[in-house]
Amino acid sequence: MTDISLLPGWAMSAQSMQPLQQALAERLPQARIECMDLPPLQMSSLEPDLAALAERLRPGVLVGWSLGGMLAVQLLRRYPERFSAVVTLASNACFAARPDWPEAMPQAVFKDFYAAARQDQPRCLKRFALLVSQGSEQARSLSKAMPWDHADEEQRLHALALLAVLDNRRALSHSTVPMLHCLAAGDALVPVGVAPALQALNPGARIRINDQASHALPLEHPQWLAEQIGDFLAAEHD
């Protein structure tokens, strides 16, 4: 039996991964699939925070959306014996741009967003919901129905700061575990143009692009994702 753990993105609850959980259950009826909430996270305590998260996860396949995908790569780097494959959804190697990684959110844009989250987080979450769903044919309904987590404002700020500084390029380039990166052509947060750079980091990784999706990929196209993940896992077991 394959164990699959689903990790949500920043400010999202485990409920955000339930549509994908249901689609995967249909595609992989023998798998045991669990949606996990992200624990409180911050850079100063990242090692114990990730260790605690790893203890909650069954050994098997990690699937993470956005920040969840970046954390899945971090977990794989630390505990390679526990995870047989990693799938990232609308996730970048670096969420905020760097001079040598331009296909990401511009630093100035991120800093403005972080400042807005500090000043008025409820308003910031509404703006974030619009960004997550931007480019979707279901943008209005998606933005109004985002399944937010129950973290307090300080916890969200710590996680947001972590999102800015995480750099998975070395972990991705050194990984020997099978990886699948699913990207969305209409993503307003993770540019689809990052695909060649991700492929260059790890030539053995598979990359799939949904031409009609937004950053809300797991909410918007769970069946498509389930097919990509199912085919990926089947190919790795052949």
Give the span between the Cα atoms of 3 and 84, in whole angstroms. Answer: 10
Catalytic residue among 16, 149, 158, 187: 187
Catalytic residue among 158, 181, 215, 221: 215
Q: What is residue 79's DSSP assignment?
A: -
Looking up tokens 């703006």, which residue turns up? 127
Looking up tokens 């799939």, which residue turns up? 208
How does strand 3-7 pair with strand 32-35?
parallel
Q: Is 215 a catalytic residue?
A: yes
Q: Is 187 a catalytic residue?
A: yes
Q: Is 66 a catalytic residue?
A: yes
Q: Under 8 Å CB-to-CB from 19, ≥6 apart: which residues?
A: 218, 219, 222
Catalytic residue among 5, 66, 84, 214: 66
Give the span between the Cα atoms of 184 and 205, in whole angstroms. Answer: 17
- Rounded to a whole number of angstroms, the CA Rg of the chain reads 16
Q: How many residues does the chain have?
A: 238
CA–centroid distance for 95 within its chain = 10
- Phi/psi of residue 94, nearest 5 degrees: -135, 120
Give the span between the Cα atoms of 12 and 30, in whole angstroms. Answer: 27
Write out the catalytic residue numbers.
66, 187, 215
